[in-house]
Structure 1
Amino acid sequence: MPAPHTEPPHHILPLPDGDLHYTQAGVGAGTPILLIHGSLCDYRYWRWQMPAFADTRRVIAPSLRGCWPDAQTHPQTTYAIDGHAGDLAHLLRALDEHGGAHVIGHSRGAQVALALAIQAPGLCRSLTLADPGFRFADEPETPVFYADAVQRLRDGDTEGAIEQFIDTVNGTDTWRKMVGWFKDMVRDNAATLLSQIQEANLPVAPRDAAALSCPLLLITGANSPAKYGTRLERLHQLLPQAGRVRIALASHGMNLANPRAFNRAVLDFVANV
């Protein structure tokens, strides 16, 4: 079982046009770990990773701008992949981590992580992408799976919007079964979908992905929806040297469903970089 949870310390980094909220833990030597959450989440998403990674390393987890506790009105133009990546580069430099970090991104956060690696390769010592869902530029645009959720938000049906989104990415009836802290986090970030849809189908250039020079680990849940598997297959074709891990007994939220296996996979990977 994971260690008992305690609330992480909260920090605020002033940026030229706003603030970035983050938490950090650990004082281990060597390259730190940077955790990047996905849709409807914030740094609380990593509740079972922060203490495990902090045993041996410094671990940094931001809440992307526009997410809790940075309560803002959505939609907003600053809620964007490239903008998030720029914020995180600023954060690493502000924390005097000019040598970079082991960057881990989940879902939408995986696209942010990839953008960071492309924008500032010197800050990315390794890259771990957990169930990325982005489209490649040579692929056609696809229907936005959360378009119905966004419409429900606009109509005032926040709970229905959340249920549609969570059940689509994790499986039917997932939202109903989720624990209280997770539901609180998702409700706090529900409005971000109003901004996120403005960047729906934002593509990644295959040449940019293929040009990555840092070590790469690709992670999925054994029960993750098939669309995430197609993204990992394409990335592996572009970067055949990448490592791959399937987390047993888990779907899209594999770091919560099976944190012991997820943490072990990540720590084994970064230990050998």
Structure 2
Amino acid sequence: MSVLRRNNVHVEGSGTPMIFVHGFGCDQHMWRLLAPRFADRYKVILVDLVGNGNSDLSAFDFDKYATLHGYADDICEILDEVAPGEPAIHVGHSVSAMIGALANVKCPERFAAQIMVGPSPCYVNDGEYFGGFERSDILALLETLESNYLGWSSNMAPVIMGAPDKPELAAELTNSFCRTDPEIAKHFARVTFLSDHRADLPKLQAPTLILQCSDDVIAPVAVGEYMHRVLPRSTLRIIENVGHCPHLSAPSASVAAMEEFLAAR
């Protein structure tokens, strides 16, 4: 099976590779306000995670994707195919920030830097660690998602998106969730929200930008501060924004933070 077909890969521009990887229930269209800003200087690579967007659904394997490592393997394969021998900048939103970190740890020679938008290594509170949710909250969320996926999508999308002054973005995210195969979405949600990759963070040696929103119920500022303390070569930038998707609701501020980080490299 072609890697490019499997992940619906699109490439534009030339220069240092910059791969954009979307979050849960989304697809590469979510990068439309950011990716074009870099296509004049970078080789922009857009992908859909298997099971999302226009990826090849027949490639979805419940065993392979039972952990985030399966998705991380795909990212390494994509870069081997479209940018052999060229270390890439990985831009990952939400769960894909951790997918990028895992890919980086597995094949460090393939990456020059990581840009993490709204990342979280663990969503569950654990002792002094504040991930934003009690385990019972996550289990209740997953139970609701599994019993009524479309209803969950309609209720959760506005909370995740935030941006109360831009209701069209919440509607877009709802529609994106609803286009995703429910069985795949349920599986991916469980893998996402119950994952714990705190132990992997110290292994990541690449320069990393942690881009957090000032008011994000999914990835609170405390999570970004924790990651900044633990990641060996990290930069933390807080954007004044409500919600979990600053690449859509605050694209100019997101680009400015990314440009500053890239210029410092």
Q: Does residue 56 of structure 1 match 2:41?
A: yes
1:242 positional shift: 1.7
Name the SS of the counterpart of 1:129 in structure 2: strand
In the alignment, is the contact (CA less than 8 A) between 2:124 and 2:138 conserved in 1?
no
Equivalent of residue 264 in structure 2, options 265, 269, 272: 272
Equivalent of residue 132 in structure 1, options 108, 119, 123: 119
Tell me the equivalent position of 2:63: 77
Tell me the equivalent position of 1:39: 24
Equivalent of residue 163 in structure 1, options 129, 154, 172: 154
In the alignment, is the contact (CA less than 8 A) between 1:152 and 1:161 conserved in 2?
yes
Cα-to-partner distance string for 1:28-84 (whole Å, 9 max, x where unaligned): x2x211111111101111111121111221111110011121364889333341111
Between the two proteins, the alignment pairs up a number of residues equal to: 256
Name the SS of the counterpart of 2:62 in structure 1: coil
Higher helix share: 2
In the alignment, is the contact (CA less than 8 A) between 1:103 and 1:113 conserved in 2?
yes
Tell me the equivalent position of 1:220: 212
Cα-to-partner distance string for 1:159-200 (whole Å, 9 max, x where unaligned): 311023324434497996536554432321262331124424
Structure 1: state its 5+ residue gaps: 1-12
Q: TM-score, normalised by structure 1?
A: 0.80
Q: RMSD between aligned alpha carbons?
A: 3.2
1:217 positional shift: 0.8
Name the SS of the counterpart of 1:82 in structure 2: helix
Cα-to-partner distance string for 1:184-237 (whole Å, 9 max, x where unaligned): 32321262331124424222143x312322111111112222743222111111
Percent identity over the alignment is: 19
Structure 2: state its 5+ residue gaps: 128-132
In the alignment, is the contact (CA less than 8 A) between 1:40 and 1:190 conserved in 2?
no
The more displaced of 169-178 and 211-220 is 169-178
Equivalent of residue 175 in structure 2, options 160, 163, 184: 184
CA distance in 2, matches of 1:249, 1:262: 10
In the alignment, is the contact (CA less than 8 A) between 1:104 and 1:129 conserved in 2?
yes
